[in-house]
Structure 1
Amino acid sequence: MDGLLINTEDIYTLTLNEILADHGKGPLTWDVKVHLQGLPGPQAAAKVIETYGLPLTADEYEKLNLKVQSKRWGDCAFLPGALELIKHLKSKGIPIALCTSSGKVKFEQKTQHLKDGFKLFDAIVTGDDERIPSGRGKPFPDIWQIGLKELNEADGTSFQPEECLVFEDGLSGVKAGLAFGGYVIWVPHPGAYEYLGDTEGLLNGNGEVLKSLEDLKLEKFGL
């Protein structure tokens, strides 16, 4: 969701820079941020605290983070091509699941004014779902496995991972999608490109990199 469907990665950068500046640190740069994208909250918090030497506990950081971010969630908006893609898949009867590392509360805060788009998903799995074992957030594939299980149970189908398209923007999410066994559509933030490394080697023929969801060739997948 974040940075793939909606513009929250830019909001995360703004709010984290505000926290860093208040502690005489920062700014956040993409060589660091590329390793934060898609991580569950506690893991991302630990990495930020360690990287910038913040004099905060994980709990203190998360409370401060929530306070600063809550002022910005009203600015969340769909990225180019995202809402159009969701609507198209829904119109074609393609089962779609949202699998986000964001916890349920943050998910609702970010999307409450975008419900017309998010209500089109057949399943929504958030990062704090109790079915995801501790420490098994992205880059592990568990969240995608749960999403597929929900889709199959809802429709009485038996789709396999290799029949799925996984849409991601960050490294950890891409690794999760590959571990899951899906074909990964990777749409990185423009600022991340020079820090992604060997994208072709990572995908190993099981995905592709796009500059925007608007560039997706749906006909390639019979959609």
Structure 2
Amino acid sequence: MTTPPDMVIFDCDGVLVDSEPITNRVIQNSLAAHGLSLDLEEIMRLFVGGTMQGVMDLARDMGADLPSHWLELIYDKIFVALGKEVEPIPGAISVLDALDRAGIPYAIGSNGPHAKMKVSLGRTGLAERLMGRVFSREDVANPKPAPDVYLLAAKSAGIAPERCVVIEDSVSGAKAGVAAGMKTFGFYGETPKERLEPICDVVFGEMADLPKLLGL
């Protein structure tokens, strides 16, 4: 039986909140309006798990004619869409309930900005539950795939990295978890399973399976 970890650190988008399809649709429409037409599968392959600055830089390299203030424009559109549509990942709330019952602390470590998480966590009812335990790439020197945000979350809780489990849905995030020295579980909700398997210690496709995988 798996030994429960001392802490679980979740990515936010695509792991706790079902924001990736919404965000990717907004990105797709914006890039198409600026001369770069990509299908959703390509959008997800190229951009999921990265930063919006990374999206902007790569899209420009691929021929998108993006204005200098594109980041401000795209975040405005994303925030509006998330505020209207985003829901929790099915089963995610039950996972947090199980961790609470077991007395195991948890946190978020995300490449997204705090403003975006405030919207998505607020609409899904998770903001109050995770107050003081939400960490962003804005809080550290380097975004994922660097381990900084995960190491900060563990340090803030006073828990050794090797006693933490990371729950990720992207390749860059999984690499960050491994680089942090944490056991890394790959949730293949949006990212193909075969892309996560070579990196992660465990892969799973349903949040309902996670408590057992954590040894709860």
Instruction: Describe the shift of the 1:189–1:34 C-alpha distance in structure 2 as closer, same or farther (beyond 3 A).
Output: farther
Answering whether residue 208 of structure 2 is matched by residue 214 of structure 1, we say yes
Distance in 2 of aligned mates of 1:45 and 1:98: 24
The RMSD of aligned alpha carbons is 2.0
Q: Is the CA contact (8 Å cut-off) linking 1:34 and 1:171 kept in structure 2?
A: no
Q: CA deviation at 1:33?
A: 2.2
Q: Is the CA contact (8 Å cut-off) linking 2:50 and 2:144 kept in structure 1?
A: yes
Correspondence for 2:70: 61
Q: Deviations over 1:98-150 (max 9, x none)?
A: 111111111112222223x3333362112211xx11xx100000000000011
Q: Is the CA contact (8 Å cut-off) linking 1:162 and 1:181 kept in structure 2?
A: yes
SS at the partner of 1:186?
strand
Q: Deviations over 1:148-194 (max 9, x none)?
A: 01111xxxxxx32121110000010000001011111111234x317
1:121-200 alignment runs, 5 A limit: 121=130, 123-129=133-139, 132-133=140-141, 136-152=142-158, 159-190=159-190, 192-193=191-192, 196-197=194-195, 199-200=196-197
Q: Is the CA contact (8 Å cut-off) linking 2:17 and 2:124 kept in structure 1?
A: no
Higher RCO (C-alpha 8 Å, min separation 6): 2
Name the amino acid aligned to 1:212. Answer: E
SS at the partner of 2:197?
helix
TM-score by length of 1: 0.82
SS at the partner of 2:205?
coil
Gaps of 5+ in 1: 153-158
SS at the partner of 2:109?
strand
TM-score by length of 2: 0.85
Number of residues paired by the alignment?
203
Answering whether residue 91 of structure 2 is matched by residue 91 of structure 1, we say no
Gaps of 5+ in 2: 1-11
1:20-99 alignment runs, 5 A limit: 20-51=31-62, 53-57=63-67, 59-74=68-83, 75-99=85-109
Q: CA deviation at 1:19?
A: 0.8
Name the amino acid aligned to 2:152. Answer: I
SS at the partner of 1:5?
coil
Q: Deviations over 1:29-58 (max 9, x none)?
A: 43452342222332232123323x11124x
Name the amino acid aligned to 2:80. Answer: K
